[in-house]
Structure 1
């Protein structure tokens, strides 16, 4: 049941709006509507409506959310599958809803308690304590057949999905201590060392990388057999490790370091960009930068340039990769010479693309529902490492800057025009800390110009030239909106509860010593 304590919320927000707006404006000066345009009544509506979608996605018996639900929030439109990420998003959204007075403490505890009880009943990989990727939220059964088309599911244990769930359990430990007896056994069994390939960068680099995950049975396609913890039978790892640092997958590193399960030096092992030699000419463009060393780990502090901005790119050029981990770790505070420089510039690059390069009149690009059906990755191609990075439009318009000095990668002409750009509101909410006025202006435009808002808040995505709207809600995307609102207008609630303990002790010291190849002033 949703209890919108509107009077209490308005009073609480009136005390935090000025402070959060001033801090955000200081981080990234912007143009457009003033930060004060975000009124208590606006935040009340956003948080109440977004939480309504999360509650509607949740099975009342098991307390677990579906992956998505239709735009009318009809129970029959709930997806018949869920993941550890979705469950984590629901748990931290409940904590945010309580902090913003959308629900009361009793309801918060009841909802999280029911979800934890169901988590304890889910089939897990016994030796790592990790959860598989897909379950039926109504029956709690591990999925081996995909409910939408009957295809075979090979149970997979994803490192990044388990990281988001572990983050939620860490927040419960600190923020809802009366439930520690339920959350701590689940968290305590999770061993992220199962994913840690200590030799991924070679024997001369004293820190390794995280695998994407593993199967317990041989899957079709590529896999590599092994067991990094040498506990239990061998598993079948993905053939890839997560080598790009500015990605949502850095949350695996944050959680594993905070739990003391991998060495803090691992923070420096993933690439900021890949090196600037022709051996790495497959990446989007030739980076600028220099080599530095931290804790005996060599780091190429590389950066890309796009429309006069210099920044550390993500893998695909989207907002989710850049800013979702920032919902839990105060990156701009703990990394004053790295993330504090990069995040505002990265947001400005997305705004620049949408408003002045592609000329959509809108911005906010991140993986989301495809307004034409299904799900797709969206981003700013030039701001991602991947040569075939995420495009910002339905037509998949891309760029190829080439790799200067390497004959096999000549630059290609830039696009003459872009097509039907697809923006997603969760990307704008993620950016609000670093461009508050621009974000408020964009959300206002989306609300005024399109049928983009329903009973559960903003719909998942909008194709801005055709006006086509993806009228459904995704647990992950709504969870990101709730996280942004809880931090900005609830005193950084999720950051505070995640970082108390191991993150402050093990992660903070390594983050503060790095300097990105990103100018302090741009």
Structure 2
């Protein structure tokens, strides 16, 4: 199944003809959206209109911090809630207006217009001391966090006409060139996005840089984003705003090349060939897992694979690359959860750890990192080896307490709707996994321990997924307007990935009735 970006007027779910089965499914999804919106609304700080980073499962205690990503996910959740008739148009506009006014008051990096990572949603002050621990916090501008906020502003300027001007003013004041290193891939003939920068020298590794071209030095991360993970959102925004070259789309490695043992540390030996797009040399490599062939991301998580797809209609704009890869990646996550690890459930992505803290979860073979993100708390991993460079290790005899996060199933809806709904239904039926604000953040499926928190990031992904599925792609349309599609789509459609999508059909990914 693939998303289709339609043109024209707003199409509400209630107006879309459907079979009885689809109508029943839409009703369930609409109920999930209604409850999820309740948690998003409860995160909002009354004094400012900004959301907190998270809230307890009883919807009573909000975190004392927020981030540009949290603000972005709340903005697009508000648009989805309006389009699904969970709130009225006046309410939605008022919420958006309060957020924009608050954004105008937040301290940010003046030369680049980039927001810093953490603010107090009640006072709008920059966080310099972490509330829970008292540890110092160095202000840091992240290309990913600012990317998510920028995508929401791009939506607002097309979805809420009365706030188009202030949203666009904020958006165009954000210079994503501040993250771009044009010399990062001399072998390919293009550059890469850095993770971010500090306005003052931090402890540890940094690079003095003037990437915004302002003559003001910032202290950039030593690392670049060189793999196709959720971090590509900053690149999409920079290209859409005309701030970084469109050729940079081909800078991140699809896999690292098969080049003797130079890249023999990556998870497995890829199969592929060199191609050239817009003058950029690209190694079109793929990995293999249990009969599937795909382009991996860094850690093997659903969040890395599919969060950008909530905003950018990747399956439509890049039908021979992302459009092929997304359903295979979903199939592989299902294959791991049901048939390899035999948890009975699937959906592995960074989330709260049910036993405390926050952790990255994923499917190890689906990531380029040798260690990868694992699907269980015990960090059970596999290593297929790298021919001629690193021997394979025995496959794990068993997996431990798998941690499943519901937001992963919602991300999978466009590509395996029946399987995703079945997975969610089983999580709700078999665990105390559902509360007043929808699905709690994660479930350790063997111990049965549930993380009874709601996170703005994860609930925001749920709202975006449901908003797109139930309205035929409204959030995609809002993002694509104002010339964005004309900038991005011609670049994205060029590429072709040799992934195995045969037999990736709905009947193959729906687990048997338990």
- TM (normalized to structure 2)? 0.94
8 A contact 1:37–1:440 mirrored in 2: no
1:380-408, CA deviations, whole angstroms, 9 ceiling, x for partnerless residues?
A: 001000111100001010111111122xx
Partner of 2:41: 55
8 A contact 1:311–1:518 mirrored in 2: yes
Paired residues for 1:417-432 under 5 Å: 417-432=398-413
Task: Give the Cα–Cα distance (whole angstroms) in 2 for the partners of residues 222 and 263 of structure 1.
Answer: 27
Task: Give the Cα–Cα distance (whole angstroms) in 1 for the partners of residues 359 and 318 of structure 2.
Answer: 31
Shift of 1:168: 0.2
Partner of 2:16: 16
Establish whether residue 340 from structure 1 lines up as the match of residue 323 from structure 2: yes
Establish whether residue 145 from structure 1 lines up as the match of residue 132 from structure 2: no
Establish whether residue 269 from structure 1 lines up as the match of residue 256 from structure 2: no
Establish whether residue 224 from structure 1 lines up as the match of residue 210 from structure 2: no
Count of aligned pairs: 492
1:233-290, CA deviations, whole angstroms, 9 ceiling, x for partnerless residues?
A: 2111001000002x10111111111111111111111100001121001111111111
Task: Give the Cα–Cα distance (whole angstroms) in 2 for the partners of residues 12 and 95 of structure 1.
Answer: 12
Partner of 1:45: 31
8 A contact 1:49–1:455 mirrored in 2: yes
Secondary structure (helix, strand or coil) at the match of 1:208 reads strand
Q: Structure 1's 36 and 415: CA in aligned 2 closer, same or farther, altered over 3 A?
A: farther
8 A contact 2:53–2:65 mirrored in 1: yes
Partner of 2:58: 72
8 A contact 2:385–2:391 mirrored in 1: yes
1:106-157, CA deviations, whole angstroms, 9 ceiling, x for partnerless residues?
A: 0000001001100100001000001000000001000111111000101000
8 A contact 1:53–1:473 mirrored in 2: yes
8 A contact 1:122–1:142 mirrored in 2: yes
Equivalent of 2:100 in 85, 98, 116: 116
Secondary structure (helix, strand or coil) at the match of 1:507 reads helix
Paired residues for 1:244-323 under 5 Å: 244-245=227-228, 247-277=229-259, 278-323=261-306
8 A contact 2:386–2:392 mirrored in 1: yes
Paired residues for 1:193-204 under 5 Å: 193-202=177-186
Establish whether residue 484 from structure 1 lines up as the match of residue 465 from structure 2: yes
Partner of 1:521: 502
Partner of 2:7: none
8 A contact 2:73–2:460 mirrored in 1: yes
Task: Give the Cα–Cα distance (whole angstroms) in 2 for the partners of residues 436 and 294 of structure 1.
Answer: 34
Shift of 1:513: 1.0
8 A contact 2:200–2:218 mirrored in 1: yes
Establish whether residue 206 from structure 1 lines up as the match of residue 206 from structure 2: no
Establish whether residue 436 from structure 1 lines up as the match of residue 437 from structure 2: no
Partner of 1:128: 112
8 A contact 2:155–2:475 mirrored in 1: yes
Secondary structure (helix, strand or coil) at the match of 1:130 reads coil
8 A contact 1:46–1:457 mirrored in 2: yes
Please, which runs of 5 or more residues in structure 1 have no aligned partner?
1-10, 22-33
Task: Give the Cα–Cα distance (whole angstroms) in 1 for the partners of residues 227 and 375 of structure 2.
Answer: 21
Shift of 1:181: 2.7
Task: Give the Cα–Cα distance (whole angstroms) in 2 for the partners of residues 384 and 144 of structure 1.
Answer: 34
Partner of 2:8: none
Establish whether residue 467 from structure 1 lines up as the match of residue 454 from structure 2: no
Equivalent of 1:370 in 324, 331, 353: 353
Task: Give the Cα–Cα distance (whole angstroms) in 1 for the partners of residues 440 and 16 of structure 2.
Answer: 27
Shift of 1:212: 0.2
Shift of 1:318: 0.4
8 A contact 1:169–1:184 mirrored in 2: yes
Task: Give the Cα–Cα distance (whole angstroms) in 1 for the partners of residues 235 and 12 of structure 2.
Answer: 34
Partner of 2:343: 360
Task: Give the Cα–Cα distance (whole angstroms) in 2 for the partners of residues 292 and 256 of structure 1.
Answer: 24
Task: Give the Cα–Cα distance (whole angstroms) in 1 for the partners of residues 472 and 143 of structure 2.
Answer: 29
1:17-62, CA deviations, whole angstroms, 9 ceiling, x for partnerless residues?
A: 739x9xxxxxxxxxxxx7565142x123211110110110000120
Equivalent of 1:82 in 55, 66, 86: 66
Establish whether residue 92 from structure 1 lines up as the match of residue 76 from structure 2: yes
Paired residues for 1:159-170 under 5 Å: 159-170=143-154
8 A contact 1:62–1:118 mirrored in 2: yes
Please, which runs of 5 or more residues in structure 2 have no aligned partner?
1-10, 504-514
Shift of 1:339: 1.1
Secondary structure (helix, strand or coil) at the match of 2:443 reads strand
Task: Give the Cα–Cα distance (whole angstroms) in 2 for the partners of residues 12 and 300 of structure 1.
Answer: 42
Q: CA RMSD in A?
A: 1.4
Task: Give the Cα–Cα distance (whole angstroms) in 1 for the partners of residues 217 and 55 of structure 2.
Answer: 37
Equivalent of 1:411 in 392, 395, 400: 392
Task: Give the Cα–Cα distance (whole angstroms) in 1 for the partners of residues 415 and 23 of structure 2.
Answer: 15
Q: Structure 1's 12 and 181: CA in aligned 2 closer, same or farther, altered over 3 A?
A: closer
Task: Give the Cα–Cα distance (whole angstroms) in 2 for the partners of residues 332 and 130 of structure 1.
Answer: 29
Establish whether residue 174 from structure 1 lines up as the match of residue 158 from structure 2: yes
